[in-house]
Every structure is written in structure tokens, then in C-alpha cells.
A and B are shown apart, each in its own frame.
Chain A
Amino acid sequence: MDALNYYAVFHMTWLPDLLAKTPAYLDPGSGSFFLQLLLATLMGALFLVGAYWKKVKSFVRNLFSKRQKEQEDSDQKSQ
């Protein structure tokens, strides 16, 4: 984390000058902007899975039990 911190300090402090022509030292932090969006989306996805865990579980269970039933039906027909 420290290495990342130092890298950011050294390399990112020049970006505003080179890109934005704004006064020194302010950093647009574009990389971290998108990283935060990504992390938050992942957290949201995890939350959704957690919130609907019962539904997800029953959906998967139903899926398998349905397949099993279909298999049994086809076995019976073939006999």
C-alpha cells in the first residue's frame, strides 16, 4: 500500500500541470475514481446476492430438482 501511495504521490502530482493546465499540486485522481466505482459496484452485487440469498438458493435447488424430475420421467418412459 505504501509503495502505491508513494507512486501516486510522485507520479500523479505532475499530471494536473501536464494535462489540465491548472495550478500545481491538485490531482484529478481519475484512476481512483473508476476504481471506487468498480469496488462499489462489486459491493452492491455482493449485497444483492446476500439479500436475495434465499431466492438464489431456492432457484438453484429448483433448477436441479426440475432436472432430476425430468430425468426420472424420461427414464420411466424409456422403461
Chain B
Amino acid sequence: MKSRPPIIHPLLFGVFPVVALIARNIAEIPALEGVRSLIVSILITLLILLIFSLALKNAHKAGMISSLIMLSFFSYGHLNLVLRTVSPLGDLLGRHRFLVPIYVGIFGVALWGILRTRRDLSSLTRFLNVIASALIIIPLFQIAAFEIQDFTAQSSQAASAAGDLRLPEDQKPPDVYYILMDGYPRGDFIAQHLGYDNSPFLDALEEKGFFVALCSQANYSDTRFSMASALNMTYLDGGTGLSEVVFRRTDLNRMIRSSTVQQNFASLGYTIVTFDPGYRWLRWDNTDIQYTPGGIQTSRNLLAIGLNEFERLLLNTSAGKLLLDMQVISTANQVNRIIQVLDNPRALHRENVLFTLEAIPKTMAEVPGPKFVYAHIVSPHPPFVFTADGTPLDNSPTDELVAYGDQIAYVNTRLLEIVDQLIAESEQPPIIIIQGDHGATIDYAGLRIDEAERLGILNVYYLPGGLEQELYVSLSPVNTFRLIFDRYFNGHYGLLKNKSILGRQSHYIELDCETSQ
């Protein structure tokens, strides 16, 4: 007599979408943020399995129906996203009114087939067990491989210090503040495409003694490339001189998390102060002090009310997308408690941005001795959570270009307050760098804007000691710390030619720029 196969596939099909999404984003967020989804998914699968087992008195059929439900639920959002982006008929096929009936139809036929059949389903159960096991092995392997690689990887790509760096002899070393504003475009782009005049902000900075690199371009158009390059003061071409990124994703992550800039400041005796940006690959290893915003703590708290960013993405890639999209339709109904729960990631994001903006000046009093303060603030990059005066924006705006301008206006206000405090209250005049890693994050193709314009960035410097003569309007991030180390800490890096590459590989791009803007 043949043994009857265990019915494990429903559980594996229920767990797979969560594990696959964790694996997909394992370099971005800690797996902990997906634990709650995993638990809920397991419990719901078991509940469905139990209900159908009791109702049908047939474990194989109950298992198959449970798997069908879990797979249908978790694949809906993915299919919707794929159809909307890949298919030429995406606007039609990706609509819920079209997709839902198809899904319900297929689900109904499959359900009917399972309920009607009188065949022995042992073989099919065995088959589904194999599929489900294979499915779960792939992302588990990805997660394990990443964690092992992450643990063992050595920082071999970092440029070494040219010459002996040393502190200035005749004065106290200045504190260095590197404020990275994610997705902050250049002034001309803001004026032309976002309909906002950023010149009062830039003028105000100049009045305070800042140098504004009006024509600055990011060396790369994507955060990962851009930060790996800026923080290691090198291009990512592996010395080939070609416009090509030769490093793998994990190498770039490592270059960001343990960079030449960090090592140099640590070797100079600086206290390294950072703020957890919420993404693993942006969070520096081995810092002396790391502030963790409340929103990030909440998103890792299993008992916190409201979704975290991962959970919202999981919902968006499942049939929960229907709920999210319906919510967009009913934006007027803001008192709905469900909306607050669903939109919690926006609130957490706002909390994180505000925390960092408030904490930067506090480091003056809280951290003694020379310090290098690095704040990577994911703003004015979407999501848009602030109006121009800082009022929380609870729903996705209808006009994203206007919202982008508004968010820039708000962070401008906060940045001016911060630099005022830093300049006025620092014991020694500080070095302050405020920089974008790339320009606006918008749908360039949809708006018919040349994607190369994503390279234009905000890039401003407060450098005590009259170094303005050495600065120039097209200074790019790859040279930022070359200049700082050479001029203040006896470095011998020299400046590289400023070059900008769109994505991983393109020709070098130079945007038009009028310095009189």
C-alpha cells in the first residue's frame, strides 16, 4: 500500500510570496520587517485549511483549495503590476474591472474542478508539494547567500588614502556635516519642470557663506551608484576609464556601508555619527553613534499598529492592491481608520525625516570632540508627505510635480534653520555639505522629460577658511571629499574630471547650465 503524502503545499504557497519579497529586498531592509507578514500568512493559511478540511472531510481537496486561494491572493497584485508596465495594452488589461472577473472566473473553474473530482488526489498533492518546496527553496537560498556574503565580504574596493591624512595643526579640527538630500534636483530643473523657484533658498545659502555649485551633476543617476562613488571618491569603472559600472550590487552596498570617507574620518580621530536611513545598504557599519528614528523602530516592532513599508508593498503585490487602489479613489474619506493603518508607512516616513532634521543640530551638544555627521535623508524624494509649510500630506497628491516642489520648499525651510544653528553654535566654524544624490524621481518618459536631467543635483558647500576660490560651479560629488581631505587634512587625492553617467552605462552626459539662474 502506498503512503499518503503530507499536505504541506498550502503552507508553503502561503509563505512563499512573503519570503520571495523579503529575498527580493534583502539588501534594502532587515528580514525582521517581514516577520509579521510571515506569521499572519501562516495563520491565515492554517485557518483556511482547517475550515475546508472540516467542511469537505477531504484533506487533499482542502489543501488544494487552500493553495488556490493563497496563490490567487498573492499573485493578483504582481500580475496587475506586470500587465500595467510590460503589456502594450497595460492600461486596459491592468484594470481591476478587467482583471478581477478573469481571476474570479479562473478561480471558480479551478474550485469547481477540485470539488467535483472523484479521483484520488494523492499524486497531485505530491506534485504540488514538490512545486511548493522548490518555490520556497529559491528565495531561502537567496536570503542565506546574501547574509553569508554580507557577513564575509571585505571592503576591497575602497580607495586608499593618498598620503598621510592629519588634523590641522594650528586650530581645532572642524566638525563636518554631510547632509545628503535624496532626490534633490538642481535649481534649473526645479524651476523648469516642478514650477518652483528655488533661487531664494540658494541665495539665502550664499548670504550665509555657502558656495552653490549651480551646474553640478551627479556622477551617477541612481542612489546606489552615486553614493558608492561619492563616499569612496572614485568612479565605478574599476579603473578602466570607461563609462561603465563594473561593480556588482553587493560590492556597491559594501562600498556604501564601509567607505573610504568613513575610514578616513575615523583614522583622523573623528567620531562618526549617522542616522539609520531604514535601508540596510545605506546604513553604515561600525559607526560610533547611530541615531535611529522612531519610525524605523516602529516598523520593526511586531506589536506596532499600522503597516510598515514592507507590509504595504506585500499588500500592493497581492489582492490587497484592490483595497489600496480603492483607497486612492476614496481619498476624501480621511477619517477612516483603515486608511490610517494602510497609509502608516507614509506617517513613519514623515517621522523619520523629521527626526533626522531635528537631530542634526542636536549632535553639536550631544557628541563631544570632532565629529563627522552623515545624514542621508530620503526627501524630497517621494513619497510626498509634506506640504510647503510642513503640514502632513496624508494622501498621495494628484499633481506630483507640484507636490515635489512643495516638499522641496519645506525641506528648504528646515535646512536653513539647521545651517543657521550649526554655523552659530559650533565651537569651530563647521564644514557643511548639502548634496543631492540624483535629481528628481519622476516618470520621465510619461512626462516627456529627457531622463538625463535626472543628473542635475543640489550641491552646496560651507567651507571655513576661504576656500571659495577653489570651488567651481560644476563640482561633482566624486570630488567633494577629495577636496575636503586635500584642503583640510593634508590629503593628496587631487580632483578627478567631472563625469556623469546615466544608469550603469551610457555616454558621458553634460547638461546645459546657465550660471545666471
A and B interact physically: yes
Quick check: B127 and A40 within 8 Å, CB to CB? no
Quick one: CB contact mask for B187-224 with A, threshold 8 Å, 1 for yes?
A: 00000000000000000000000000000000000111
Interface presence of B167 (CB below 8 A): no
The answer to whether residues A23 and B223 also contact, given A43-B131, A44-B130 and a CB cut-off of 8 A, is no
CB<8 Å pairs between A and B, sample of 29: A5-B249, A15-B81, A15-B85, A16-B313, A19-B81, A19-B85, A21-B382, A23-B346, A23-B378, A24-B381, A25-B223, A26-B309, A27-B24, A27-B25, A28-B313, A29-B25, A30-B77, A30-B81, A32-B20, A32-B24, A33-B78, A36-B139, A37-B75, A39-B138, A40-B138, A43-B134, A44-B131, A47-B127, A47-B130
The answer to whether residues A14 and B441 also contact, given A44-B128, A44-B130 and a CB cut-off of 8 A, is yes
Residue of A nearest to B441 (CB): A17
- Determine the main DSSP class of A at the interface with B: helix
Closest Cβ–Cβ distance, residue A39 to chain B (whole Å): 7
Chain B residues numbered 346-386 whose CB sits less than 8 Å from any CB in chain A: 346, 349, 378, 381-383
Quick check: B24 and A21 within 8 Å, CB to CB? no
Quick check: A22 and B312 within 8 Å, CB to CB? yes
> What chain A residues lie within 8 Å of B78 (beta carbons)?
28, 30, 33-34
Chain B residues numbered 108-148 whose CB sits less than 8 Å from any CB in chain A: 123, 126-128, 130-132, 134-135, 138-139
For the complex, give the distance between the alpha carbons of A16 and B28 in Å. 13
> What chain B residues lie within 8 Å of A43 (beta carbons)?
130-131, 134
Instruction: For B20, give its contact among A6, A25, A36, A51 (CB under 8 Å).
Output: A36
Quick check: A28 and B21 within 8 Å, CB to CB? yes
Residue of A nearest to B33 (CB): A26
Interface presence of B310 (CB below 8 A): yes
Chain B residues numbered 76-125 whose CB sits less than 8 Å from any CB in chain A: 77-79, 81-82, 84-85, 123
Interface presence of B450 (CB below 8 A): no
Interface presence of A48 (CB below 8 A): yes
| Extra inter-chain contacts (10) besides given A13-B222, A26-B25, CB under 8 Å | A15-B85, A21-B396, A22-B313, A24-B182, A24-B381, A28-B78, A29-B21, A36-B16, A36-B138, A41-B131
Closest Cβ–Cβ distance, residue A23 to chain B (whole Å): 5
Closest Cβ–Cβ distance, residue B392 to chain A (whole Å): 15
Interface presence of B17 (CB below 8 A): yes
The count of A-to-B residue pairs whose CB atoms sit within 8 angstroms is 130
Closest Cβ–Cβ distance, residue A25 to chain B (whole Å): 5
Instruction: For A2, give its contact among B135, B248, B346 (CB under 8 Å).
Output: B248
Quick check: A48 and B316 within 8 Å, CB to CB? no
Quick check: B441 and A48 within 8 Å, CB to CB? no
Quick check: B312 and A18 within 8 Å, CB to CB? no
The answer to whether residues A17 and B382 also contact, given A9-B249, A26-B28, A26-B310 and a CB cut-off of 8 A, is yes
Quick check: B503 and A10 within 8 Å, CB to CB? yes
Count chain B residues whose beta carbon lies closer than 8 angstroms to a beta carbon of A.
Answer: 54
Quick one: CB contact mask for A30-72 with B, threshold 8 Å, 1 for yes?
A: 1111101101110111011001000000000000000000000
- Give the top 5 A-B pairs by smallest Cβ distance, nearest first: A29-B24, A44-B131, A40-B134, A30-B78, A40-B135
Closest Cβ–Cβ distance, residue B31 to chain A (whole Å): 13
Quick check: B310 and A18 within 8 Å, CB to CB? no
Residue of B nearest to A30 (CB): B78
Interface presence of B345 (CB below 8 A): yes
Residues on B close to A: CB < 8 A? 16-17, 20-21, 24-25, 28-29, 75, 77-79, 81-82, 84-85, 123, 126-128, 130-132, 134-135, 138-139, 182-183, 222-224, 245, 248-249, 279, 309-310, 312-313, 316-317, 345-346, 349, 378, 381-383, 396, 441, 443, 503-504
Closest Cβ–Cβ distance, residue B91 to chain A (whole Å): 13
Quick check: A30 and B82 within 8 Å, CB to CB? yes
> What chain B residues lie within 8 Å of A16 (beta carbons)?
313
For the complex, give the distance between the alpha carbons of A31 and B81 in Å. 9
> What chain B residues lie within 8 Å of A14 (beta carbons)?
441
> What chain A residues lie within 8 Å of B345 (beta carbons)?
22-23
> What chain B residues lie within 8 Å of A34 (beta carbons)?
75, 78-79, 82
B17, B25, B310 — most chain A CB neighbours (10 Å): B25
Closest Cβ–Cβ distance, residue A54 to chain B (whole Å): 14
Residue of A nearest to B83 (CB): A30
Quick check: B84 and A19 within 8 Å, CB to CB? yes
Quick check: B309 and A22 within 8 Å, CB to CB? yes
> What chain B residues lie within 8 Å of A32 (beta carbons)?
20, 24
> What chain B residues lie within 8 Å of A9 (beta carbons)?
222, 224, 249, 504
Quick check: B25 and A51 within 8 Å, CB to CB? no
For the complex, give the distance between the alpha carbons of A26 and B224 in Å. 13
For the complex, give the distance between the alpha carbons of A29 and B381 in Å. 21
For the complex, give the distance between the alpha carbons of A68 and B249 in Å. 60
